[in-house]
Amino acid sequence: MSDRNASPLIRLRGITKTYGRGDAAFQALRGIDLDIHAGEFVAIMGPSGSGKSTLMNILGCLDTAAGGTYHYDDIEVGSLTVDQRALLRRYALGFIFQSFNLLARTSALENVELPLLYRGLSRRIRHEKAAAALEAVGLGDKLRNTPAELSGGQQQRVAIARALVSEPRTLFADEPTGNLDSATTIEIMELLSRLNREQGITLIMVTHEDDVAGWAHRRIHIHDGRIASDERSLQTTAAHP
């Protein structure tokens, strides 16, 4: 769990984002103030077009704000160059997507290794770290399988292992169970909850599903580019057997 007395890991003040110009301009975010502490499990919710995906992209350094300030671990993200933001993503952030984004003709082990290629690690070390990450998500016996040889839930576990192999402080999950059935959804959410609880990884998840959001410690609802509500849960779905 997070220490709310400590400085926040993520601090947003007055964040705005506008797409287009003139009559075609659309203000996706309209002044977001938000603190997220290390170790929190946060669900960001909202209807289509509410701004939740835009907020996630800014938090994950995949996009930049038009106005306001964003500090990650006391680093002013808005002042970073493109290359510096890429380094922050590479060493501090991990990403899980709804569509898995796995290379089809590549083994699970090689898919998980990909983030480590950019760090210049040796082949042996890449293999060791990727194998350990797959073991951590319950796929130690599927190292050589391609995505076509895996179920949807197993593919998402590979994607989670790929996000974890870089040992990120913060994990971003964009609709991580959107393509999964209800039983597999529970398996994936149990895994994410365990990673948050046991490894202290800060987990920020976008979802439109109430039952999935129920695993989080905190729910932030976005509406028309603003935070409509920010609620903490004393008991999450993860607390139930």
| Per-residue pLDDT tens digits for 165-176 | 999 999 999 999
Q: What is the CATH number of the domain that holds 202?
A: 3.40.50.300
In a domain, 43, yes or no: yes
CA distance 169 to 178: 24
Query: Within a 10 A sphere around the Cβ of 148, how many other Cβ atoms?
Result: 9
CB-neighbour burial class of residue 103 (10 A; exposed 0-12, middle 13-18, buried 19+):
exposed
Contacts of 134 (CB under 8 A, 6+ apart): 108, 109, 112, 140, 142, 143, 157, 158, 161
State residue 234's pLDDT score: 66
* Percent share of the chain, pLDDT over 90: 85
- Does residue 179 lie within any of the structural domains? yes
The pLDDT tens digits for 28-45 are 999 999 999 999 999 999
Report the number of distinct structural domains present in the chain.
1
Q: 223: which strand partners?
A: 226
Answer whether 195's CB lies under 8 Å from 25's CB: no
DSSP one-letter code for 238? G
pLDDT single digits (tens) 106-128: 999 999 999 998 888 899 999 99
Does the pLDDT value for residue 240 go beyond 50? no
pLDDT at 238 over 60: no
Q: Is residue 3 part of a domain?
A: no
pLDDT digits (tens, 9 = 90+) for 6-23: 899 999 999 999 999 888
